[in-house]
Chain A
C-alpha cells in the first residue's frame, strides 16, 4: 500500500530525513520509534504533504501511484490521514461543520454526491459513541480550549469519520492519561480492517501495549536503523536507544 524509497527531506536547508525506506501492506500496523529529533514527525508530515518540507530525493508510492508531487488535500482524497501531534484550533468552525466540509470535499474529489444530512448524523452518532464523545462536544469550535485528551480523541473521531486507507498517528499518546489512552487505542483497533493500514509514531512503548504493531522500526538521525517485531519495542523500553547508536557506528 505504501512504499517509501530512499526519501531525503530538508526543512529550511537542514536535512532531516536521510534516506528512508519503508513498506507497509494493507491490514498491517507499523510503529516508528525513536528519540527526540530523530525525524519521526517530519516523516509523518512529509507523507501527508506538508509543503514546509522539501523532498530532495526519493519517492512516496501510495496505492501504486507516485504521490510525491501531490498537495496535502489530494493525498487526503486518496485516503491518507494524519492525526496531528498538535492539532490546530480553528475558532468559529464547529467540529461538526469541519467534518462535514472535510467529508464532502473528499466525496467531491471522488465524483460522489454530498453525504445526506441524515446519513451524516447517523454516522456521527455511531462513531462518536465509539470514542465516548458526547453531543455537546460536536458543536464546540474545533480544538478551541480542548484539553489534550479531547484534542486527540477528536483526531481519532475525524479518522473514524473519514475512513482512510492509511492512518498516520503522530504521537497520539502524548498528553493522554491511561484511561484516555485506552479509549483512543480501542477506537483505533475497532477501525482496523484487512484493507487499511496504520502507522503509529511514538516515543513510548506504552501505546503499543494497546495498539499492537506487526512491525517496529527505529528511526535514528533520519534513517531507519533497525526493524523488528513488537519485542523490539519492549527492548527499547528497557534499554533505550544507546545500544543501537553503537551498533550503527560499528556497522
Chain B
C-alpha cells in the first residue's frame, strides 16, 4: 500500500538524518547548557520486551479523575485500552497508529504529519522509531465538550527504556479544545522519553495545553512541541516541571497569519542534581500578533535551570507585541540558572520586552510576614508558593489548578493554613 511506502520513506529519511547528526552535544549553541551525556551513559532499549499492564489504582493519583475527560493512556509507550476512553464522536481523540494506517486519514496525514518538525537529530530519532501517540482533531466550529488527557506512564521495571511518543493535534477553523499531557514515571528506574508533538491551529481556533512533567528522580524527558498557527488563533501552553534527572523542553511557535496570540507559561521547581531546560522560539511572520512568555523557576540544592527564549520578528511583522519574562529564585548557593533571552527584531514598529530576574527571596517581604506571626520557614515557603502560584491564575480548568497548586505546595513543603 502507498501509505506504508510513504511512511517507510519518511522513517528511512529520518534515520539518515539521525545517523548523520547523532545525539546533540554541548558544542551546539542550542544545547550549550544541557548535556545529554549523563543520560546517554545508559544503554536504552528502544523496544520494550513485554507489555506491562497496570490497573487503574496504579495511576489513579496521576489522572485528574474528578473532571470529565477523554483519556488516552500509554504504559511504556504501549496503548492501554482498558485505562483509556477515546472518541470519534464529535471530534477525534484516538491513536496515532490508527491515524497513520487508515486510508481515510491519508489526506490529513499528507497535510499535517511531520510537516513542521525540524530535521534535527532528536526529532528525526522520534520520527524514525515512534510507534504510538495521541491524535486529536477537532473539526471546524466544534468546541470539544471535555478536555483530553494524554497520559504517558513508564514502569521501567526491568530494562532501561527509551520511549518515543508522537502526538498530533489539529484544531480546525473556529474549533476549541483543552489538552492535559502528562509524563510520569512510576518507579525510580531510568527512562528516557523523547516526545514530539505537532500542533496546528487553523483560523480562529483555540487551544489550551497543559504539560505536567515527571516528579521522579531518574526519569529524563526531551519534550519537543511545534506549533503552527493561522490567523486570529489563540494557543496557550503551560509547562509544569517538577523533577526528573534531565528535562529539555523545546517549544517553538510559527505564526502564519495576523492577529495571532501565542502564550507560553511555565513553572519549574527542582532540587538535588535535577536539570530543566526551556528552549522557546516564537517566530512572528505577520503583522498585529502577540506572544507572551512567563517562566518561573525555583532551584534548590545543586539543581540547574536553563531558559533560552528566542523571539524572531520578521521585517513585515509590524505592530508585534512580544513579551518575555523569566524569573528565578535560587534557594541554595550551589543551584544554577542560565537565562538567555534572544530578541531578533527586524520590524521597526513593535513593542517587545524581556525581563529576567535571578534572586533570593525578598527579605522585606519575609520580615513583613514574620511580623504577622508567620515563622521564617513557613514565610519562605509561602513566598515561594506565591511566586510560582502567580502563573496558575490563568489556568482555566479549576480542578487542574487545584491539583497543581497542591502539588506545588507539597513540593515546597508548605502546610498552608488554608484550603487550596
Contact = CB atoms under 8 A, between A and B. Distances in A.
Interface of A: 48-52, 71-73, 75-77, 81-82, 84, 87-88, 90-93, 96-98, 100-106, 109, 114, 117, 158, 162
Interface residues of B, number: 28
A133 B305 CA distance: 42
Contact of B370 (A72, A93, A114): A72
B385 A102 contact: no
A88 B364 contact: yes
A92 B376 contact: no
Interface in B377-396: 378-379, 382-383, 385-390
Contacts of A92: 385-390
Contacts of B416: 97, 101
Contacts, number: 87
B376 A84 contact: no
Interface in B19-66: none
A163 B419 CA distance: 23
B365 interface: yes
Given A91-B390, A101-B417, A105-B374, A72 B367 contact: yes
Interface in B359-417: 362-365, 367-376, 378-379, 382-383, 385-390, 416-417
Given A73-B371, A104-B417, 18 more contacts: A49-B370, A50-B371, A52-B367, A71-B375, A73-B370, A73-B376, A76-B371, A87-B368, A88-B368, A90-B365, A90-B369, A92-B389, A93-B389, A100-B417, A101-B378, A102-B374, A105-B374, A158-B372
A104 B367 CA distance: 18
A82 B373 CA distance: 11
A91 B368 CA distance: 14
Contacts of A48: 371
Interface of A is mostly: helix
A72 B386 CA distance: 21
Which of A88, A102, A162 has the largest count of B CB atoms less than 10 A from its CB?
Answer: A88
B369 to A, nearest CB: 8
A102 B368 CA distance: 11
A73 B362 contact: no
B148 to A, nearest CB: 29
Which 6 A-B pairs give the minimum distances between C-beta atoms? A92-B386, A76-B373, A104-B417, A72-B370, A106-B373, A101-B417
Nearest to A159: B372
A153 B364 CA distance: 20
12 contacts: A52-B363, A71-B375, A72-B371, A73-B370, A73-B373, A84-B368, A87-B368, A91-B386, A92-B390, A105-B378, A105-B417, A158-B372
Contacts of B390: 91-92
Which of A52, A91, A96, A101 has the largest count of B CB atoms less than 10 A from its CB?
Answer: A101
Given A88-B362, A91-B386, A109 B373 contact: yes
A114 B371 CA distance: 19
A162 B385 contact: no
A65 to B, nearest CB: 17
A101 B382 CA distance: 9
Given A105-B375, A162-B373, A100 B383 contact: no
A181 B385 CA distance: 34
Contacts of A82: 371
A124 to B, nearest CB: 12
Given A73-B373, A77-B373, A93-B382, A101 B368 contact: no
Contacts of A90: 365, 368-369, 383, 386
Contacts of A97: 416-418
B118 to A, nearest CB: 36
A100 B419 CA distance: 10
Contacts of A114: 417
B374 A50 contact: no
B418 A101 contact: yes
Nearest to A102: B372
A109 B372 CA distance: 12
Nearest to B393: A92
Contacts of B370: 49, 71-73, 76
B200 to A, nearest CB: 34
A88 B365 contact: yes
A49 B371 contact: yes
B386 A102 contact: no
A77 B363 CA distance: 20
A158 B374 CA distance: 13
A246 to B, nearest CB: 37
Contacts of B383: 90
Contacts of B362: 88
A12 B330 CA distance: 25
Which of B362, B374, B388 has the largest count of A CB atoms less than 10 A from its CB?
Answer: B374
Nearest to B378: A105
Which of B367, B383, B385, B389 has the largest count of A CB atoms less than 10 A from its CB?
Answer: B367
A71 B376 contact: yes
Contacts of A50: 367, 371
A122 B317 CA distance: 55
A93 B365 CA distance: 12
A92 B409 CA distance: 13
Contacts of B417: 97, 100-101, 103-105, 114
A163 B3 CA distance: 75
Which of B371, B373, B386, B418 has the largest count of A CB atoms less than 10 A from its CB?
Answer: B373
B249 to A, nearest CB: 23
A90 B94 CA distance: 43
A92 B369 CA distance: 14
B389 A73 contact: no
Nearest to B388: A92
Interface string B332-359: 0000000000000000000000000000
A100 B371 contact: no
Given A93-B382, A93-B386, A73 B368 contact: no
Nearest to B384: A92
B197 to A, nearest CB: 29
